Amino acid sequence: MEKNLLFIKPDAVKRGICGDIISRFERAGFRITAMKFLWLTKAQADRFYPNDKEWLIMLSKKTAEAFTRRGKKFNKVGLAYGRQVKRYLIDYITSGPVLAFVIEGNDAIAVSRKLLGSTDASASAPGTIRGDYCSDSMYAATMEKRANKTLVHAAGNAKEARNQIRLIFGSKQD
């Protein structure tokens, strides 16, 4: 059994769609093992997202891909822009309460990310959470100098999930 940390971000909490989002994971067969509302501080949010070079560059590459899908050029790929996106993300997830929860089940990380859809909601398929509930795009977020509002966070790999679960729930969820 694998675990993953997810949290419903402030805009989705404000919209009142937490129950709809959680039910998607339950209907997919996942068991929820922990859940709590919290309002992350900037320091917690900074520890929450990785600081490694590879992850930061990946953020800028995703933005470049979103621009390419629109036939536009994006010339800021690299570490500096990745750091800027991380600052946008921190501002976004600290703007209100989040509902954090841990799911457990077979292939929890890969399946939860499929249920969510693309981090660029404009590229998310109907039937995914982002495809059904989100109308934002990386392109719009970049042009407006803010985070892409993706509604839900999910850890991307087992190490990230373990670290994020510990940060939010402590070691009792290991």
Is residue 76 assigned to a domain?
Answer: yes
Q: Is the pLDDT confidence value at 9 over 90?
A: yes
Is residue 62 assigned to a domain?
Answer: yes
Q: Report phi then psi at 117, rounded to 5.
A: 95, -175
Is residue 32 assigned to a domain?
Answer: yes
pLDDT given for residue 56 in this prediction: 93
Is residue 94 assigned to a domain?
Answer: yes
Nearest to 171 by CA among 3, 43, 1: 3
Is residue 7 assigned to a domain?
Answer: yes
Domain count, the chain: 1
Q: Is the pLDDT confidence value at 172 over 90?
A: no
Is residue 174 assigned to a domain?
Answer: no
Q: Is the pLDDT confidence value at 130 over 60?
A: yes
Q: How confident is the model at residue 113 (pLDDT cuts 50, 70, 90)?
A: very high
Is residue 130 assigned to a domain?
Answer: yes
Q: How confident is the model at residue 20 (pLDDT cuts 50, 70, 90)?
A: very high
Token readout for 120 is: 């660029």
33-78 confidence digits (pLDDT tens): 999 999 999 999 999 888 889 999 999 999 999 999 999 999 888 9
**More confident call, 173 vs 89:** 89
SS3 string of 89-126? HHHHHCCCCEEEEEEEECCHHHHHHHHHCCCCHHHCCE
CATH number where 65 lies: 3.30.70.141
Segment holding 108, helix H or strand E: helix 108-116
Domain that holds residue 41: 2-168
Is residue 173 assigned to a domain?
Answer: no
Q: Is the pLDDT confidence value at 153 over 70?
A: yes
pLDDT given for residue 57 in this prediction: 93
pLDDT given for residue 166 in this prediction: 95
pLDDT given for residue 92 in this prediction: 96
Whether the CB-CB separation of 77 and 65 falls below 8 Å is answered with no
Catalytic residue positions, numbered? 153
pLDDT given for residue 39 in this prediction: 97
Q: Is the pLDDT confidence value at 118 over 70?
A: yes
Q: Is the pLDDT confidence value at 174 over 60?
A: no
92-104 confidence digits (pLDDT tens): 999 999 999 999 9
Mean pLDDT to the nearest integer, 125-143? 94
